[in-house]
Amino acid sequence: MIQTISNYAGQSVTLNGWLYNKRGSGKIQFLQIRDGTGFIQAVMSRQDVTEAEFEAAASLPQESSLKITGLVKQDDRAPFCGYELQVTGFEVVSRSEEYPISKKEHGDAFLMDNRHLWLRSMRQHTILRIRASIVKAVRDYFDDNNFLLVDSPIFTPNACEGTSTLFETEWFDKRKAYLSQSGQLYQEAACMAFGRSYCFGPTFRAEKSKTRRHLNEFWMVEPEVAFIDLEGDISLAEDFLCHVIERVLNLHEKDLTQILERDLNILKNTRKPFPRLHYLDAVKKIQELGMEIELGGDFGAPHETELTKLYDRPLVVTHFPSAIKAFYMKKDPENPTYAKCMDILAPEGYGEIIGGGEREDNLDLLLAEIKKHGLNQADFEWFLDLRRYGSCPHAGFGMGIERCVAWVCGLHHVRETIPFARTLDRLSP
Buried b (16+ CB within 10 A) or exposed e, 333-372: eeeeebbbbbbbbbbebbbbbbbbbbbbbeeeebeebbee
Secondary structure of 361-394 in HEC code, one letter for each residue: CCHHHHHHHHHHCCCCHHHHHHHHHHHHCCCCCE
**Strand runs labelled E in 228-361:** 276-278, 315-318, 341-346, 351-358
* E strands, 182-314, in order: 196-204, 217-226, 276-278
Q: Which does 403 bind (CB under 5 to 8 A by kind): ligand 4AD, Mg ion, none?
A: ligand 4AD
222 counts as binding ligand 4AD under rule CB under 6 A: yes
The amino acid at 360: E
Verify binding: residue 182, ligand 4AD, rule CB under 6 A. Answer: yes
Q: Is 400 in the site for ligand 4AD (CB under 6 A)?
A: yes
| Residue with Cβ nearer ligand 4AD (53 or 161) | 161
Q: Is 357 in the site for Mg ion (CB under 5 A)?
A: no
| Contact with ligand 4AD (CB under 6 A) among 130, 399, 406, 411 | 399
Task: Pick the closer one to ligand 4AD by CB: 24 or 321.
Answer: 321
Q: Are 423 and 407 in contact (CB under 8 A)?
A: no
Nearer to ligand 4AD by Cβ, of 283 and 354: the residue is: 354
Interacting partner of 112 out of ligand 4AD, Mg ion, none (Cβ under 5 to 8 A depending on kind): none
What span, in angstroms and rounded, lies between the C-alpha atoms of 55 and 49?
A: 10
Min CB(324)–ligand 4AD separation in Å? 12
Interaction between residue 237 and ligand 4AD (CB under 6 A): no
DSSP character for 195?
S
Q: Which stretch binds ligand 4AD (CB under 6 A): 110-118, 119-127, 298-306, 350-358?
A: 350-358
Nearer to ligand 4AD, 314 or 400 (CB): 400
Q: Is residue 345 close enough to count as binding ligand 4AD by CB under 6 A?
A: no
Taking the C-alpha atoms of residue 11 and residue 136, their distance in angstroms, rounded to an integer, is 33
Q: 33 by DSSP, 3-state: which?
A: strand
By CB under 5 A, name the one of 314, 351, 355, 396 that touches Mg ion.
355
- CA–CA distance from 15 to each of 39, 52, 82, 88 (Å)? 11, 19, 17, 12
Whose CB is nearest to Mg ion?
Answer: 355
**Distance in Å, CB of 192 to Mg ion, minimum:** 23
Q: How far is the CB of 354 from Mg ion (least distance, A)?
A: 8
3-class secondary-structure state, position 353: strand
Which residues lie across from 18 on neighbouring strands?
34, 65
Select from 237-245, 262-270, 310-318, 354-362 the region that touches ligand 4AD (CB under 6 A): 354-362
354 makes contact with ligand 4AD (CB under 6 A): yes
Near Mg ion in 110-149, by CB under 5 A: none
Of 332, 355, 383, 409, the one binding ligand 4AD (CB under 6 A) is 355
Q: How far apart are CA 270 and CA 347, in angstroms?
A: 10
User: Cβ(217)–Cβ(192) under 8 Å?
Assistant: no
Q: Is 218 an interacting residue with respect to ligand 4AD (CB under 6 A)?
A: yes
Give how far Cα 271 sits from Cα of 256, 267, 313, 385, 402, Å.
Answer: 19, 9, 8, 39, 21
Q: Which residues bind ligand 4AD (CB under 6 A)?
A: 160-161, 182, 184, 205, 207, 214-215, 218, 220, 222, 352-356, 396-400, 402-403, 414
Q: Which residues bind Mg ion (CB under 5 A)?
A: 355
